[in-house]
Every structure is written in C-alpha cells, then in structure tokens.
Amino acid sequence: MEVPSIYLNKLLSETAKKGASSLHLSIGSVPVMRINGRLVLMEEENMLTSDLIVKIIRSFITDEEMVKLEKEKNIVVAKTFAGSFRFRVNIFYQKNLFSLSFNYISGVIRKLDDLELPSQITDAIKLSSGLLILAGPDNSGKTSTAAAFIEEINKNKKNYIITLEDPIEYVFINKESIIEQREVGRDVQSYISGLEHFLNEDVDVVYIDEIKKDFEKAVPLILELASGNSLVILEMNADNSIRAIEKILNSAPKENSREAIQYNLADVLVGIVAHRLIPSRGGEMALAREILVSTPPVKSLIREDKIYQIESTLQISKGEGMISLQKSIEKLLNDGKITKEEVDKLNIS
C-alpha cells in the first residue's frame, strides 16, 4: 500500500482532474466521486479499511483538530492537497467508524459579470451598508457567488473587508482592498464573538458563511452591522427567499421582538439570491436561481409580516430583476438544459 498521504493526493488529484465536485471515503467501499451530481465508483481502487482511513485522516489534520474530532464526532476543515488542490473536508462518524467527504474548491474565483445577475443585485457592491443574502443548500454554489462579490470589491474599491468562516474556503490576495479572513475556532472563538468584535471595528464589508450554531444570537448583531457602516454578505442554508426571511424572523426570542426584527430586516435588506444546482442534459450541472430584490413593496410586506405574499411579488416583478425559483427551473426546462425527470426529483415548494 502507498503512503497514506501520497495515496490521498492521488485520489484528490484524480477528483479535480475529472471535474468531480466531491470524493467520498467510507470503510468497506472503494472511493466514490460525485461527477455532475452522480456517484461514480473508482473501481480500480481497493476497498478502504479502517486502518487506512485513520492513517489518511492523521496525514492531514492537526493534533488540535483530532482532539476536536474525537470530542465532537464531526469536524469540517479546508485543506490544500498535492500543492494546489483545495478541498472542504467533512470528517464524521457513521456506525462508530470514520467516513470522509472532500468537496472541491475551485482555485478560480469567477468574475461577478459572468454570474449573469441583475444590476439590482450586483450594484450591492456600491453600497456602504445593507444585507445581501446568498441562500441555498450545501454545495449549491452560494460560496462561489460570495467569492465573486468579494473579489469584485477587492479589485475595484479601497475597502476594509473581513470574512468570518468555518472553515476558510477561498483564499483572497489583497488588491485595492485589505481583506482579513478569520476562521471560527482558530482566529475567533465563535461567530458571536467575531460579530461583536466587528461592531467595534471600522469595517466596510463583512462576509459571513453559514452559521450553524447560535443563529438566533447572531441575527441582531448582523442586522446592527448592516444598518451601520458595513455591507454584510450572509450565507444561509435556506431553499428560497421566503424561507430565508422566515428563518431570520423566527430567530426572535419573544413575540414582541419579532416586530422589531421585521422592521430592521426590511430597512437593511438589499436582496436574496437562492441557489439550486440540477444535473443537466449535457452531463454537467445547471444553476437555477431565485432572485428577490428588496423593493419598497417587498420591504412593506416584511414589515407587515406578510411574508407569503412575497411569492406573488416575485411572479410579477421581472422588470425589477426578480425571478422565482420555480420560474428559473421552468426556463432551464424550456431551454432544454434539464429534463423533466430531474425536475420531478426536486422538492420545490
């Protein structure tokens, strides 16, 4: 058997070269790649053993990360392998045995113009304050969209940008802006302590990836940042705009504070882009996007807690740059980019 680190680098290099989005390693199975949404067995490889999996894990995580893994039974890290391939790695237990998932992070940050977003959304980079939400399930493309926004600001504005991530995925190089990337658990104790610190800093742009713990405590701090002198780009695990808004409003601990959050959110919200990747006819992945622009009618619906009426606004506001997720999927279907079979597999409501 090859040295575990060399063996892992070989698997990951193959994953990146074949355009796979992820690699999965589980005891008793050969390595499995996900290519264009479909699992592909690496049949030329041997079955993975418990001993090999443990050696692979120990080949790239630190002693501190190993302690955290043994304590919490799950850890997510971002690492660079074979000198150039960067992956988000989820190490977890199943049936009391280790499993690993490696999700490829492209080293190329897309240009904002290439995302084909309406100007009502891309113009957010010109704002000195506000909240832009990037929603969608895991591995739906929201982080690459966030990176495009950050890099556009980095190239064109003299801003102070801070990111709060767990883990850090895209690595930025300072251009016109100064960018500080802070990893939760390493550079800051928690999302809450990081956000509290930001409130005392003169920061122009704040990017926050998905907050898995203490989201309720984070919401007031995020809204305060966005209402001050910071543009906040927030990732959320939410299927669509309405559910993203609901998640924020439902974070209110008491009924009387929900109204305050309604007004605060309406005041600061710039827009929401919800992502969904769907296997396409060409064997790649097609991106469906819902786009909600925070127009005066949308703000009024949020303030009045009439969230479900936003769906009607999405349907009739194409001229404002909006589109519902359903309409976006229908367009992909009508353009022949995806099949009805794939659409039927989606749980869109």
* Residue 101 and residue 126 in one domain: no
Q: What is the pLDDT of residues 254-266, one digit of tens each?
A: 656 889 999 999 9
Identify the pLDDT of residue 274.
97
pLDDT value of residue 282? 73
Confidence at residue 196, expressed as pLDDT on a 0 to 100 scale: 96
100 and 164, same domain (yes or no): no
Whether residues 171 and 36 share a domain: the answer is no
H or E element that contains 348: none
CATH number of the domain at 63, please.
3.30.450.90
Residue with tokens 């299927």: 239
Of 105, 126, 151, the position where a domain reaches its end is 105
Question: Cα separation of 179 and 64, whole Å?
Answer: 26
Same domain, 230 and 157: yes
Written as six digits, the tokens of 101 are 């998932």
What pLDDT does 254 receive?
66
Taking the C-alpha atoms of residue 9 and residue 6, their distance in angstroms, rounded to an integer, is 5
pLDDT of residue 14: 92
The two three-digit tokens of residue 204, written as one number: 């122009």
Domain that holds residue 187: 112-345
DSSP string, 259-294: HHHHHHHHHHEEEEEEEEEEE-TTSSEEEEEEEEE-
Mean of all residue pLDDT scores within the chain: 93
Return the SS3 of 107. coil
Residue 349: per-residue pLDDT? 53
pLDDT tens digits along 322-347: 999 999 999 999 999 999 888 888 76
274 is written with which tokens?
A: 């919800």
- pLDDT for residue 343: 86
- As for how many domains the chain has, the answer is 2
Instruction: Give the domain-ending residue among 105, 133, 151.
Output: 105
Q: Are residues 276 and 331 in the same domain?
A: yes
> For the packed helices 215-227 and 191-198, what is the interaxial angle rounded to 10 degrees?
20
Q: What is the CATH number of the domain that holds 248?
A: 3.40.50.300
Sites in the chain below the pLDDT cut of 70: 1-2, 254-256, 347-349
**Residue 190 phi, psi dihedral angles, 5° rounding:** -155, 170
* Residue 303 tokens, joined: 């303030």
Check whether residue 214 and residue 198 sit in a common domain: yes
Domain end among 76, 105, 134? 105
Q: Is there a single domain that holds both residue 200 and residue 313?
A: yes
User: What 3-state class would DSSP assign to 97?
Assistant: strand
- Return d(Cα 153, Cα 161) in angstroms, integer: 9
**Are residue 49 and residue 182 in the same domain, yes or no?**
no
pTM of the model: 0.91
pLDDT in the model for residue 334 = 93
Q: What is the pLDDT of residue 348?
A: 64
Based on the fold, state whether residues 194 and 302 are members of the same structural domain.
yes
Residues 326 and 282 in one domain: yes
State the pLDDT at residue 256.
Answer: 61
**Whether residue 216 sits in one domain with residue 120:** yes
pLDDT of residue 83: 79
Residues 172 and 268 in one domain: yes
